[in-house]
Amino acid sequence: MNSIPRKYLLIYGPSVTIVLISAVLASEYFVSLSPELAAGIIYDLVIISPVIYLAIIWKSDIPKISALPLFILGLMLAGILIPESYHFHLDLLTTYLLPLVELGIIGLVIIGTRKIIRSYRQQEAHQTDFLDAMNSVLIKHLGKTRLTNVLATEMAMFYYAFFQWKGRKLKESEFTSYHRSGMSGILIAIILIVLVETVIVHLVVIRYNPTIAWIIFALSVYTAIQLLGHLKSLRFRFTAISEDILTLRYGLFGDAEISLQNIERIEQKENLEEIQKKELVRMSLLGELEPFNTVIYLYEPVTVRRPYGLRKSGKLIALWVDQVEDLRKWI
């Protein structure tokens, strides 16, 4: 049986302990014996728990904003656990403290956004790939967390979908992956189908349940934006060789850095034996539905980064490279 890592116990243990003790003491029986107990539980859940958590993580790389969910959870638990007749102090916090916290968050978001924009402009001078530059900037300000990966993916998705239009000339050491694979046409077709189906489903469902209809509509439009962002990023994010590193990029759905010394060979092929697929990582959005024409054989496994912090490692990497013969000459 795997034990919980000690660092997680140190970080989250005090807050979890406060919640468990509060859940036991918040029954109407105990609260009726001592009404002040209700106030104590409320302040423990809403204020003390987040403050202790902040004190523990203050000098770590964990973003300070991560205390916010504890504050919100404290308000919700206090509302659920404490009998309604003892909500006086909870109402005070909701009326006066919550708006101050909201204003503080807005202020922090504005300040943080300005810092990120300023850092990105500095980073952009020597790092032309938007997703790579945004990852570096967010890690600098928020630390290397799953939240960083999620934000970088979301920002890149909207950036490529709506703001990146002007391309640039391909360098000799850069290679595209969208000209000859046929995926551009497939993605355009899927986007059009999603949009058409969205309108039809929305018009039908809204007659029976407007809330569900608008939820489906929002999710479908978001999916279309994701696909559009990936489609356009294929035109601006190239596989490239610099110094002794081969950098693989496949839109928003695959990134990897490979040392040239780790490459055993590169073959131009469109299928693999079943036994080889166990160590295979496909750089693709649609998995086996997407074609590949290049397989990179490695001495040691390499991790391929995917959207939202997902990762997969393998010793064989399959992808589509339009100029595969030129790539093989560079290795």
Residue 280 forms part of a structural domain: yes
Residue 138 forms part of a structural domain: no
Cβ neighbours, 10 Å, residue 314: 19
Residue 23 forms part of a structural domain: yes
Residue 257 forms part of a structural domain: yes
Using CA atoms, how far residue 41 sits from 28, 100, 125, 190, 263, in Å, is 12, 21, 52, 53, 60
DSSP 52: H
Q: Is the pLDDT of residue 89 over 90?
A: no
- Model pLDDT for residues 158-181, shown as the tens digit of each residue: 889 988 888 778 888 899 988 888
Domain co-membership, 214 together with 249: no
Question: Position of tokens 């005090």?
Answer: 14
State which of 235, 260, 278 marks the end of a domain: 235
- Model pLDDT for residues 9-30, shown as the tens digit of each residue: 778 788 888 888 888 887 776 7
Domain co-membership, 206 together with 273: no
What was the pLDDT predicted at 220? 92
Domain co-membership, 210 together with 257: no
Who has greater pLDDT, 331 or 81?
81
Q: What value does the mean pLDDT of the chain take?
A: 84
Domain co-membership, 222 together with 254: no
Question: Rounded mean pLDDT of 130-144?
Answer: 78
Range(s) of the domain holding residue 42: 6-86
Domain co-membership, 204 together with 251: no
- Model pLDDT for residues 27-52, shown as the tens digit of each residue: 776 777 777 888 888 898 889 988 99
Q: Is the pLDDT of residue 156 over 50?
A: yes
Using CA atoms, how far residue 81 sits from 25, 70, 88, 155, 309, in Å, is 9, 16, 14, 38, 35
Distance CA 301, CA 258 (A): 10
Distance CA 23, CA 184 (A): 55
Residue 116 forms part of a structural domain: no
| Helix H or strand E encompassing 302 | strand 294-305
State which of 19, 52, 86 marks the end of a domain: 86
Cβ neighbours, 10 Å, residue 166: 5
Domain co-membership, 250 together with 218: no
Using CA atoms, how far residue 170 sits from 178, 240, 251, 291, 320, in Å, is 13, 10, 16, 23, 17
Domain co-membership, 34 together with 63: yes
Cβ neighbours, 10 Å, residue 200: 10
Into how many domains does the chain fold? 3
Residue 256 forms part of a structural domain: yes
Residue 103 forms part of a structural domain: no
- For residue 308, what are its two tokens? 């939202």
- Helices 6-25 and 35-43: angle between axes, nearest 10 degrees: 160
Using CA atoms, how far residue 258 sits from 58, 156, 161, in Å, is 35, 23, 28
Domain co-membership, 307 together with 254: yes
pLDDT band at 255; cut points 50, 70, 90: very high
What was the pLDDT predicted at 1? 44
Residue 128 forms part of a structural domain: no
pLDDT band at 191; cut points 50, 70, 90: very high
What was the pLDDT predicted at 112? 67
Domain co-membership, 304 together with 225: no
Question: Rounded mean pLDDT of 307-318?
Answer: 89
The model carries a pTM of 0.68
Domain co-membership, 38 together with 52: yes
- Model pLDDT for residues 213-232, shown as the tens digit of each residue: 898 999 999 999 999 999 99
Question: Rounded mean pLDDT of 149-154?
Answer: 87
Q: Which parts of the chain fold into alpha helices (H)? A: 6-25, 28-33, 35-43, 49-57, 68-81, 88-92, 98-124, 130-142, 146-158, 183-205, 210-236, 324-330
- Model pLDDT for residues 282-295, shown as the tens digit of each residue: 998 888 888 899 99
β-bridge mates for residue 175, sequence order: 239
Domain co-membership, 217 together with 288: no
State which of 235, 258, 273 marks the end of a domain: 235
Residues 323, 178 contacting (CB under 8 angstroms) = no
Domain co-membership, 13 together with 79: yes
Q: Which of these, 150, 125, 121, 118, lies nearest to 135 by C-alpha position? A: 150
